[in-house]
Structure 1
Amino acid sequence: MRRRFIKAVITTTILFLTTICFTNLSAQTLKLWYNQPSKKWTDALPIGNGRIGGMIYGAADTERVQYNEQTLWTGKPRDYQREGAYQYLAQMRQLVFDGKQKEAEAIGEAHFMGRKVNEEDYDKQKAAWFKQVSAVKAPAATAYNDSKWKTINLPTEKGWEVIPGFEGVDGAVWFRTTFDLPADWKGKDLTLSLGRMRDMDFTFVNGEQVGSVDGADYRRYTIPAKLLRAGKNQIAVQVINYWDKGGLTSNPREMAIYPMGLTPTELKGAAATTTPKDMAVDQKTGEKFKVVRLDGSWKYWIQDNQPPQFPRYNADYQPFADLFLQMTKTGSIINYKRDLDISNATAHVTYNEAGVNYTREYIASNPDQVMAVHITADKPGKISFTALLHTMHQSVTIRKVDAHTLALSFKVRNGALRGVSYLYADAKGGKLTVTNTGISISGANEATLYLTAATNFKTYKDVSGNPEAICAKQIAAVRAKTYAAVKAAHIADYQKYFNTFAVTFGNGVNDALPTDERILKYNSTVDPGLVSLFMQYSRYLLISSSRPGSKVPANLQGLWNDLLTPPWGSKFTTNINLQMNYWGAEMLNLSGLTQPLFSMVDDLMQTGKATAKAHYNTPGWVLHHNTDLWRGAAPVNAANHGIWTTGAAWISESLWEHYQFTQDKGFLQSQAYPAMKGAAEFFVANLVKDPATGYLMSTPSNSPEHGGLVAGPTMDHQIIRELFKNTIAAAKVLGTDADFSKTLQEKYNQIAPNKIGKFGQLQEWMQDKDDTTDTHRHVSHMWGIHPGTEISAATPDLLNAAKKSMHYRGDDGTGWSIAWKINLWARMRDGDHSYLMLTKLLSPADAVPNHEKGGVYHNLFDAHPPFQIDGNFGGAAGIGEMILQSQFGTLDILPALPKALPNGEVKGICARGGFVLNIKWQNGALQQVDITSEAGKPCVVNYNNKQIKFYTEKGKTYKLSGSLQEI
């Protein structure tokens, strides 16, 4: 038997051989780089230290660094659960069982959803505010003097919030424009089409109201001929926006005037370019007719931007501020380049202006808790610029702190949080001046800026922090150091995470191209280097947005957000997206970065316990599909998708995974098992018997964001079974709760099983009602394949049914959905299909203007669209699943290697059981694998229908050939 056990190799020898084996990896370029500055936010390059994140635009003349701090959110500490909601639970269940879904959802909407902020007082406040603003009609008059009004280009398809001056604006805004009446339209009634508006409008022509709608419907109003005048006619629109997107938000061609009786075809995208601007096509006859276009420049006046606080379930993650550097221009710019070096977390902008080579270097230091900008030139006395701070928030104060420091402070609207930033400047040579508006440096040889930010957030229950003191302390500490020392500490701290893993898939013809060009060419040329760059970039993003000691895990956008009303609040969506953010953390050797997630789970156990009691009258804890900084656990948004009960169970799986990879029994006992047990306790009490089948089922719930409120969605049961199985295993490891484990096993055996439907598909619901033409982004019933484990080659019928479901659902989707499919096809051992999904994920998201799709932006941010970071994290995890799988207690080497990646090496990939592997393959075949045991567990290795088993010693490394022979 001893011959079958692999002998331990001396550690020093392994280190030497590993160095030789991976020399190509260290030489690999790990940079995103471009030949032009950013044109938009998703071109900018991200930096972050886990708490503060910045987006670097990189312009040579006016640099913009938009930055965030992880605890700046709207809202305040409050209770989210609705006390007594459980009284309606039985009624909803019965309605669902009776097939009365809409009635059940109506009960849920009225009585079962969580509490909104300001829900008790809003109606009265709104009525008083609306009465006041709607009484103002003077701007509708033709003779009204709007000469002092500003101008705006309409429509603003993504809402007026994206327009400078409108950031975060809610309230009442007036718009005015004129049009010339064509002579042949005299005496005709006309249609005024303004497209969609958010939320309510009062629309006037020549001082007379022609229409009003409250809602996002299309506006098509009749202008009676008697209102019209020869020559110029005046249009005035008062838009009343209560919250979120505001203004005229349709396609430009939907803003037009034309004769009554004609109905223009909606012309969008390529079709719109084939028709002259002053023409449209009639839907009925297909004939072209003349229109007067209204898109373009309008005048506007913000009448009132202080509406009462709109009732909302969740808070929004907020942008903090912007740092602007206005560089003194001396000549034309040549040899421009910007880059992000993810090997050491430094970003750069370089260019030549008037014969001088300039370099700007950017870092976000975790040890010193600052962002830094270091500016140099290759000739003395050539650095001159003004540094300014700007924020979109209100109640803003900017002041001089001392001869080197500027401070910015503000308060979040309708919230409890304050933000403070300190900007410290140092210069060698030249002159440095600080005023109450900015910092000026002129004639310097070198300059360094340090920026920090903080809020008064301490915990989800405590906002008594002192951001001024935090910023002052951080600046005081860093100003005593040299930039070289700050940079060195930053790189060392970053690389202790980043350097644990390396990967290469070989070189391609596009290696030397700028990153944006590589993305555009990826699907038409061979570029395996972009795959490894994407994988490492995803690790960079997690290191930058989730650090031990952070108060908040990576959210929907990681750490980066530039909008006061960000997509989906940039919060934590717990029906896949938050969990996906951490899918690759364990496998890709970033286990320590899960701490902020698990810290949030500790809080959610408390709020989830209150929610379980209020909404279900059960013990344990529950988490629905969204949460935020204030740790709300109640159902939110709408009953048809917000009443989903398995968030706590799913997030508990992340804790169990951490134990499986690390074998940290102390963590299992102190953090993981209490969370798992509490989540299981909830379902022991909450599962009910299906009157039709006798099975236990989860109800009411839903298959995330698809199909409405139901009884027994497949995903729920897969998650609950996995939770029970893992909790039993954890209790066995800890030697505790034998009776509870017995209860879990009994319940496990009674839960409704996976079912195969009439199309041979894995059913998404208890009823066989799947639609083979349905291409919904969520593939929730695939959870049992990934991240779950109950469907595999060991269950061939279910696996084949799952494959059919995946084919029916299709290969397209939003970015995170595509990333999930990479993982799923890899788990189903179809590497080529998994790689096909990867090619879709790495396709350009915004190649066609105004028609974004799932893929990546120029800066490799994932596109939902818009930006969601889960596709980055999930995509990298999926590539890892192609190389190594360990979910069944064995190390499966290259289980789903695609033909497109025939050659490669990976160093530092991790497996359950506490193993770290180095793997090398050529021409699609394994060459060598080194396995380090960090926990001394028995090891089973599978490759190419071969298997080897051996015992290991903690800290020892074992080497195998491609045929799994000892080396």
Structure 2
Amino acid sequence: MLKIIQHKIFLLTCGIILSVFVQAQNLKLIYNKPAENWNEALPIGNGKLGAMVFGGASQEHLQLNEETIWAGEPGNNVPKNTFDSIQKIRKLLNENKFEDAQKLSNTTYPRQAPKDLNYGMPYQTMGDLFIDFKGHENFKNYTRTLDIEKAVSAVSYEVNGVTFRREIFASFVDNVIIIKLSSSKKGSLNFCINASTPHLKKSIFTEKNQLMITGTSGSVDNKIGKINFKTVAVPVLKGGKLTSTKDQLEISGADEVVIYLSIATNFKKYNDISGNQDARVSEYLQSALNKKYEAELKAHIEKYQQYFKRVSLDLGTTEQARKTTDTRIKEFATSKDPDLVALYFQFGRYLLISSSQPGTQPANLQGIWNDQLNPAWDSKYTVNINTEMNYWPAESTNLSEMHEPLFDMIQDLSVTGQESAKEMYHARGWNMHHNTDLWRITGIVDGGFYGMWPMGGAWLTQHLWNHYLYTGDKEFLKKYYPALKGSALFYLDVLQKDPSKKYLVVSPSMSPENTYFKSVGITAGTTMDNQLVFDVFTNFINASKVLNENKNLSGEVKSALNKLPPMQIGQHAQLQEWLKDMDKTDDKHRHISHLYGLFPSGQISPFRNPDLTEAAKNSMIFRGDKSTGWSMGWKVNWWARLLDGNRAFKLISDQLTPAPIDNKGESGGTYPNLLDAHPPFQIDGNFGCTSGIAEMLLQSYDGFMYILPALPDALPNGNIKGLKARGGFEIDIEWRNSQLTKLTIKSTLGGNCRIRVAKNINLKSKTQLKNSTGENPNEYYQVNAVKAPLISEKAELKGFPMPETQVFDFNTKKNGVYIFETK
């Protein structure tokens, strides 16, 4: 009997230990070997500085980035004297001469940039820092981690009975990267510090026991590289000896070493590079060196957690959580690992905090992490989906401040974009096309085939209005109202009558990167363009009403709004991508741009527009699931909006499969370091999936908040705290056996709260609920009604299956907290 009791106690103890071990791993990426390549290294960043940490035992390698090291110099890329060609293209499109229109677009804006123009500058690596250890080739008990709860990377291993440790982080307080090296035995640290950079104009040297790297960014096309950068590494020793050679630092016999790494450039603004990189580096270093390491680390963690800890997600754990992160990715498709989904969700939030801080540049195509001078797609800002996707989680996952760098860039573009609007289109206001860079270019990029899409500004401005709907910040709206107005003015001027004279459409344009005939994509009145202009106009009208501005202009915009084409359901019961019914059921293109109206916009709703919702679903089915990483990230959000949690989870599973070693193709997947693959690496898929998981648990558009709208069978139990909804609401949700069990709503603005929940839920609360009737009186939940769709006679609609739900209203007070439990 005693043995049985002892055995039970042993099993219970093991269970407790396992539970603690599993929980401890919940917010860590963990590996049992150093990174062998960049896609295994771990990202750290503070918005300005980024590093990929390889964690080698005999050599630590940090690949380094600073957000403003871009090729080129100030200047726009707007071509001169092309308005007549645009007019001719419009005429050819009206005459159904589509191939001729495409040829003229291609010759007017050639694939390779003309000598007097450029198609954007690449974001560039600074270079690399190496720490070479003597005698560490034979090591054991190795662990490498990235703690995304603290934004700290760590390495630990043993050599000849001595344990060596490293802690590495990019300080959110003092804008330096800090590396702490320690060991379990005094005097055991022996290593040298050296660096390299691929830039042609460079110098690497030591001065006063500090390692210096200086250089100038690259020249591309007709743009001379004019970003001057400086990097300084300063080691602070406890015990031991520090000596210098020409280009490296040597440490011997140290007990502990902390290395402070600072990078700065001469960049001040897109049109101002008069900064002093030397003074900036010194300022950053001085601030950090005046603090003890422990105080610096504590301050860093506290500032980071002000953002990160706003949202928690617990989906339960299994045995899989004991394994290394790369193994969990490999086995996700064949195992139950809900905790990896939670980790992936939070990793997206970690990346956004780490690559987009107030006062920095926005997160680019790779966030801030790039190891090349000429990265894929230049690592620019691609605004026909990728840049916007980077910021989808900003509001919903309670990271509004991370949105600020994008707002700053929109403000810049609303200035530089006046040149492209005036010169290319003879229009008021501002616009841009599908790409921009550090210099805020707004002309066509990549020629008249890919680049003839004058809608980039239209999409970006949605983020301004969306931020207002989440925060209710009228001062913010007033500040950025000119950008909303400028975008509306542009489309007011460029809209053209379509050949039937029924509608106003954007011409010429395209449905991003897709074609309807072989090598022909240029057209007029694409569904996405119509949806974007609809949002631009309605946002301007609504903002003008809030601010009591421009009543006459609002009337003019409203008149044009009424002349936009309705959405159309084509012969295959699909949502048409083009004004004419030209969709092909075998089209597997990664861009499904015409579903913008489903997400991130809210023009298509299952409850208001079931026919459009069914058509959107059919388009999704035709396109298929597997695609590039960002495309699958978008599909998670779409399936969530279609209220199909299982299909959304299937896309997450597709994305959480090992990315191929080959860096080409459109296979998507995830690298061992949890970064998204196009392939190669693009960060937008990470952000898209984080947004999609949030959409599966909470949606706040269409006049109400929908609680657990797309909960998959694979996640029957869990809780999430701190999600944000439009109207200033903060939401905590608990569920068990796929049923809502507890709902907490915090109201920061007050006003009516309308919630939609499953029909079989019986909510219990001190708060009085009433069945909803009519439209939501809350100003942040007003719905902009769309026209009834045109439906092809050939379309066979079967009806969209609607979930059984119930909708309640209750009044909230500012800063009130309202708790609901199920009976």
TM norm. shorter chain > 0.5: yes
Do the aligned residues in 1 keep the contact of 2:190 with 2:252 (CA within 8 Å)?
yes
Task: Give 1:413-452 correspondences, 5 Å limit.
Answer: 413-414=218-219, 415-452=225-262
Picking from 751, 756, 764, the partner of 1:942 is 756
Q: Distance in 2 between matches of 1:453 and 1:67?
A: 9
Q: Hey, what does 1:603 align to over in structure 2? A: 412
Q: Hey, what does 1:124 align to over in structure 2? A: none
Picking from 395, 405, 416, the partner of 1:586 is 395
1:726 aligned onto 2:531: no
Q: Hey, what does 1:784 align to over in structure 2? A: 597
Q: Hey, what does 1:911 align to over in structure 2? A: 725
Quickly say closer, same or farther: Cα 1:85–1:881, change in 2 above 3 A.
Answer: same
Q: SS in structure 1 opposite 2:427?
A: coil
Picking from 481, 502, 509, the partner of 1:694 is 502
Q: Distance in 1 between matches of 2:540 and 2:160?
A: 67
Do the aligned residues in 2 keep the contact of 1:714 with 1:764 (CA within 8 Å)?
yes
1:397 aligned onto 2:203: yes
Q: Kindly provide the CA deviation profile for residues 522-577 of structure 1, in whole angstroms up to 9, marking residues without a partner as x.
A: 00011000000000000000000000011x10000001000111000000000010
Offset at residue 434 of structure 1 (A): 2.6
Q: Distance in 2 between matches of 1:61 and 1:605?
A: 50
Q: Hey, what does 1:749 align to over in structure 2? A: 562
Q: Hey, what does 1:364 align to over in structure 2? A: 170
Q: Hey, what does 1:873 align to over in structure 2? A: 687
Q: Distance in 1 between matches of 2:331 and 2:453?
A: 41
Do the aligned residues in 2 keep the contact of 1:114 with 1:313 (CA within 8 Å)?
no
Do the aligned residues in 2 keep the contact of 1:938 with 1:950 (CA within 8 Å)?
yes
Q: Hey, what does 1:715 align to over in structure 2? A: 528
Task: Give 1:670-681 correspondences, 5 Å limit.
Answer: 670-671=479-480, 673-681=481-489
Q: Hey, what does 2:33 align to over in structure 1? A: 36
Q: Which amino acid aligns with 1:393?
A: H
Q: SS in structure 2 opposite 1:349?
A: strand
Q: Kindly provide the CA deviation profile for residues 87-137 of structure 1, in whole angstroms up to 9, marking residues without a partner as x.
A: 222111011222222322333233357995x814xxxxxxxxxxxxxxxxx
Quickly say closer, same or farther: Cα 1:400–1:690, change in 2 above 3 A.
Answer: same
Q: Which region of structure 1 is more displaced relative to structure 2, 332-341 or 733-742? A: 733-742
Task: Give 1:557-596 correspondences, 5 Å limit.
Answer: 557-596=366-405
Q: Hey, what does 1:300 align to over in structure 2? A: none
Q: Which amino acid aligns with 1:368?
A: D
Do the aligned residues in 1 keep the contact of 2:495 with 2:506 (CA within 8 Å)?
yes
Q: SS in structure 1 opposite 2:430?
A: coil
Do the aligned residues in 2 keep the contact of 1:643 with 1:700 (CA within 8 Å)?
yes
Q: Which amino acid aligns with 1:666?
A: E
Do the aligned residues in 2 keep the contact of 1:755 with 1:762 (CA within 8 Å)?
yes
Picking from 684, 708, 725, the partner of 2:492 is 684
Task: Give 1:652-671 correspondences, 5 Å limit.
Answer: 652-671=461-480
Do the aligned residues in 1 keep the contact of 2:22 with 2:322 (CA within 8 Å)?
no
Do the aligned residues in 2 keep the contact of 1:82 with 1:115 (CA within 8 Å)?
no
Q: SS in structure 1 opposite 2:348?
A: helix
Q: Distance in 2 between matches of 1:95 and 1:572?
A: 31
Q: Larger % of strand: which? A: 1
Q: SS in structure 2 opposite 1:790?
A: coil
Q: Distance in 2 between matches of 1:848 and 1:700?
A: 36
Quickly say closer, same or farther: Cα 1:714–1:615, change in 2 above 3 A.
Answer: same
1:59 aligned onto 2:56: yes
Offset at residue 489 of structure 1 (A): 1.0
Q: Distance in 1 between matches of 2:667 and 2:602?
A: 31
Structure 2 unpaired stretches of 5+ = 1-19, 220-224, 516-520, 759-804
1:537 aligned onto 2:343: no
Q: Hey, what does 2:131 align to over in structure 1? A: 325
1:47 aligned onto 2:50: no
Work out the percentage of aligned pairs sharing the same amino acid: 43
Offset at residue 509 of structure 1 (A): 2.8
Offset at residue 961 of structure 1 (A): 1.6
Q: Hey, what does 1:509 align to over in structure 2? A: 319
Q: Hey, what does 1:119 align to over in structure 2? A: 115
Task: Give 1:766-777 correspondences, 5 Å limit.
Answer: 766-777=579-590
Do the aligned residues in 2 keep the contact of 1:109 with 1:638 (CA within 8 Å)?
yes
Offset at residue 774 of structure 1 (A): 0.7
Quickly say closer, same or farther: Cα 1:832–1:355, change in 2 above 3 A.
Answer: same
Q: Hey, what does 2:638 align to over in structure 1? A: 824
Q: Distance in 2 between matches of 1:438 and 1:847?
A: 34
Q: Distance in 2 between matches of 1:806 and 1:896?
A: 16
1:464 aligned onto 2:309: no
Offset at residue 954 of structure 1 (A): 1.1
Q: Kindly provide the CA deviation profile for residues 907-963 of structure 1, in whole angstroms up to 9, marking residues without a partner as x.
A: 100000000011100000000111000111211111012222111111111111236
Do the aligned residues in 2 keep the contact of 1:28 with 1:504 (CA within 8 Å)?
no
1:407 aligned onto 2:194: no
1:486 aligned onto 2:486: no
Q: Distance in 2 between matches of 1:115 and 1:517?
A: 43
Q: Distance in 1 between matches of 2:367 and 2:186?
A: 40
Picking from 781, 799, 813, the partner of 1:953 is 813
Do the aligned residues in 1 keep the contact of 2:111 with 2:449 (CA within 8 Å)?
no
Offset at residue 739 of structure 1 (A): 1.8
Offset at residue 847 of structure 1 (A): 6.8
Q: Distance in 2 between matches of 1:636 and 1:525?
A: 44
Q: Hey, what does 1:86 align to over in structure 2? A: 83
Offset at residue 656 of structure 1 (A): 0.6
Q: Kindly provide the CA deviation profile for residues 312-370 of structure 1, in whole angstroms up to 9, marking residues without a partner as x.
A: 41100000010100001156201011000000000011000011000011010021110
Q: Hey, what does 2:119 align to over in structure 1? A: 313
Q: Hey, what does 1:275 align to over in structure 2? A: none
Q: SS in structure 1 opposite 2:408?
A: helix
Give aligned pairs, total. 747
Q: SS in structure 2 opposite 1:358?
A: strand
Picking from 422, 446, 461, the partner of 1:613 is 422
Offset at residue 389 of structure 1 (A): 1.4
Do the aligned residues in 2 keep the contact of 1:624 with 1:633 (CA within 8 Å)?
yes
Do the aligned residues in 1 keep the contact of 2:76 with 2:442 (CA within 8 Å)?
no
Offset at residue 623 of structure 1 (A): 1.3
Runs of 4+ in 1 over 3 A off after TM superposition: 23-28, 109-116, 847-852
Do the aligned residues in 2 keep the contact of 1:925 with 1:962 (CA within 8 Å)?
no
Do the aligned residues in 1 keep the contact of 2:187 with 2:253 (CA within 8 Å)?
yes
Q: Distance in 1 between matches of 2:716 and 2:562?
A: 43
Q: Distance in 1 between matches of 2:649 and 2:321?
A: 19
Q: Distance in 2 between matches of 1:487 and 1:66?
A: 21
Q: Distance in 1 between matches of 2:311 and 2:452?
A: 40
Picking from 187, 193, 205, the partner of 1:381 is 187
Q: Hey, what does 2:365 align to over in structure 1? A: 556
Do the aligned residues in 1 keep the contact of 2:573 with 2:618 (CA within 8 Å)?
yes
Q: Which region of structure 1 is more displaced relative to structure 2, 87-96 or 345-354? A: 87-96
Quickly say closer, same or farther: Cα 1:852–1:374, change in 2 above 3 A.
Answer: farther
Q: Which amino acid aligns with 2:394?
A: A
Q: Distance in 1 between matches of 2:124 and 2:42?
A: 19
Q: Distance in 1 between matches of 2:822 and 2:678?
A: 40
Structure (1 or 2) with the larger CA radius of gyration: 1
Q: Which amino acid aligns with 1:899?
A: D
Do the aligned residues in 2 keep the contact of 1:113 with 1:634 (CA within 8 Å)?
no
Q: Kindly provide the CA deviation profile for residues 571-608 of structure 1, in whole angstroms up to 9, marking residues without a partner as x.
A: 00000100000001100010011111000111100111
Q: SS in structure 2 opposite 1:454?
A: strand
Q: Distance in 1 between matches of 2:665 and 2:381?
A: 26
Q: Structure 2-normalised TM-score?
A: 0.89
